[in-house]
Chains A and B, each alone.
Chain A
Amino acid sequence: MGLRFAAGFVIIAMAALLIYLAFEGTKTFYVDRFPLWSFLFSPEFSPDANHPGAAVFIVGTIAVTVFAIAVGGPFGVAVGIFLAEIAPYRMTQILKPAIELMVGIPSVVYGWLGLTLLVPLIRTHTSSPSGFGLAAAGVVLSIMILPTVITLSEDAIRSLPYSLKEGSLALGATRWQTIIRVLVPSASSGIAVALILGIARAVGETLAIQMVIGNSTQFPKGVFGPTAALPTEIVTDMPGTTAGSLLEHALFSMAFLLLLIAMLLIVLVRFSLRRRA
């Protein structure tokens, strides 16, 4: 039946994606014979000298993601708690559409906002000469993952049975004690999913950070120094490559690496959900 084929198309698309990227992404190692170890760990990125080490970008991705989840994570969970337990109806009516709007804003607009608002701010108030760098990218990314973390945390807490809250309050706990000691621990697997999906969003975000991160191929000198991440490097250098070159293969390897990280995060999410006793 046609319907079954449509569903199968999803599988085919995913499989094709994996195969194409695996094929193209491993050319760096098979065709150009650049060692995997160097690709992953060498801080020197000079494709002209046949040495495209991607460590700078891997570290950049990790750094920017850690920044985003460290700032946006707790903030998002807190606002999720607020929506589930504290916000009166009128406030919810304003806040939820606001969050939906945030989701709708294209990442290029966030990047542009970062470029025109945040970067000059960093330039004038810190030691950074240009304002571009890790901090700018981290802040922009924190804002971008907020909607994901907020809505999933809110869902996690709302889906708890009312009897839990009732039982705690009947024992003389304050509302905050109930939230911190009973509700949040009980919703822990749902909140973990919220954070993991926030991380997934951060890892894959490209345009917004590319516009503010500085796009240098060096490790950042301090939090405000320019650097690059895996997706931003792809976007910066891919338009200028020649087909079949080592640089192009290296960029595809980076894309493949991103794909693997994304799939790993999915597995983590499923694992978290299964842990819900």
Chain B
Amino acid sequence: MSATTAEPAPVRGVAATGGVRVRKTADAIATVVLWAMASSIIVMLAAFIIYIGYLGWSALTPSFIFGVPKETTAGGGIGPEIYNSFYILILTLLFTTPIAVAAGVFLQEYARPGGFRSIVQFSAESLATVPSVVMGLFGLLVFVYTFHWKYTALGGALTLTVLNLPALLRVTQEALSSVPDSLREASMALGGTKWQTITRVVLPSAIGRLTTGIVLIAGRIFGETAALIFTAGLSVTANKPYDLNPFHTAETLAVHLWYTHSESVVPDVDRIGNGSALVLLIMVLAFNVGARLIGRALTKRFTGRSS
């Protein structure tokens, strides 16, 4: 039979009593605390944006945005740096996108679960956790030391390619897996080959999410610093600020922001810093918002649906 210990008194009534009130109070307190924590993040972010905007606004003169940097005197601009940021961005995407998309298509659509596939996944995951500064040193070893290139935009772009490959690979895989299998089956049932199915049905369906992911990663590439310090360098070509040669030394805007605040000796560090930070922030916002808009527009265009 049951033990002789008395069980708790049975509950009567429907209203909240002492013990229940305590628990409900705990519940209310916890809810308030969590709301406060979540709100504080929004407040903090807003504060950052306002702060950067407020400080940097006055620095955004045409001579700043398009002018060249100065080594030791005031009045330097960030024109070549902005140019280099875009240059390296485009170059990086040119390399990374085909490789990542091809690899993603292979992994999602062709590969059988097994050895090769797991090794690729593991490599991608590991590559994703490599700190960017380590990647920069890797680039230094390969391009500057082994290839004897010195600091080049191309070296920077190639380094960033390896750095962003895992991210873009994951974006591709997720975009592809979001396409329902029923579409693939329909295409095959109509006699399409696997390749036709992928290029004509799967990829167009996935293109919205894929592009959103690419643009978001582009935003991160734009702000990348540590991997570029040792590969693309800390200066710009002396007489040719808008150099098209991929082997030119290419300090980007992000690197410039760091450089002026750690090594450089120009007297108007604050102005340059404020302005650079604001330009970087504007670019990040642009990439973020643009990613969504482009993604949505492309999805609509290629599939007729809105998401």
Contact = CB atoms under 8 A, between A and B. Distances in A.
A105 B37 contact: no
A109 B131 contact: no
Contacts of B42: 94-95, 98
Interface of B: 23-24, 26-27, 30-31, 33-35, 37-38, 41-42, 44-45, 48, 51-52, 55, 98-100, 102-103, 105-107, 110-111, 116, 119-120, 122-127, 129-135, 137-138, 140-142, 145, 162, 165-166, 169, 216, 219-220, 222-226, 229-230, 234, 254-255, 257-258, 261-263, 273, 277, 280-281, 284-285, 287-288
B223 A7 contact: no
A234 interface: yes
B102 A6 contact: yes
Given A10-B165, A91-B38, A95-B41, A115 B126 contact: no
Contacts of A111: 258, 261
A13 B277 contact: no
Interface in A166-182: 174-177, 179
A10 B124 contact: yes
Contacts of A1: 106, 110
Contacts of A29: none
B58 to A, nearest CB: 15
B130 A79 contact: no
Contacts of B111: 7
B119 A11 contact: yes
Given A109-B280, A236-B262, 17 more contacts: A2-B102, A10-B123, A10-B127, A10-B166, A16-B138, A21-B138, A82-B38, A108-B255, A109-B223, A112-B277, A113-B52, A206-B225, A210-B262, A235-B133, A238-B137, A262-B130, A266-B125
B31 A86 contact: yes
A276 B219 CA distance: 34
A113 B120 contact: no
Contacts of B162: 13, 17
A51 B72 CA distance: 35
Contact of A117 (B51, B131, B137, B284): B51
Interface in A108-156: 108-109, 111-113, 115-117, 143, 146
Bin the interface of chain A by size: 35 or more
B249 to A, nearest CB: 13
A204 B23 CA distance: 42
Contacts of A99: 41
Nearest to B121: A10
B37 A79 contact: yes
Contact of B277 (A109, A174, A266): A109
Interface in A1-29: 1-4, 6-11, 13-17, 20-21, 24
Contacts of A194: none
A239 B144 CA distance: 13
In the A-B complex, list the 8 residue pairs whose CB atoms are closest, starting with the nearest.
A106-B223, A204-B131, A6-B102, A3-B106, A14-B123, A176-B27, A6-B103, A7-B103
Contact of A207 (B35, B141, B219, B225): B225
Contacts, number: 230
A255 B165 contact: no
A104 B126 contact: no
A251 B257 CA distance: 23
A40 interface: no
Contacts of B26: 174, 176
Given A105-B281, A258-B134, A175 B27 contact: yes
A248 to B, nearest CB: 10
Given A20-B138, A106-B223, A204 B133 contact: yes
B55 to A, nearest CB: 8
Contact of A82 (B35, B254, B288): B35
B104 to A, nearest CB: 8
A107 B288 contact: no
Contact of A101 (B30, B138, B285): B285
Nearest to A180: B30
Contact of A107 (B103, B134, B223): B223
Contacts of A91: 38
Nearest to A81: B34
Given A17-B138, A105-B223, A108-B257, A7 B120 contact: yes
Given A10-B127, A107-B225, A87 B38 contact: yes
A79 B45 CA distance: 15
Contact of A109 (B124, B138, B257): B257
Chain B CB within 10 A, most for which of A10, A91, A146, A211: A10
Given A11-B120, A102-B45, A6 B223 contact: no
A206 B223 contact: no
A240 to B, nearest CB: 10
Contacts of B35: 82, 86
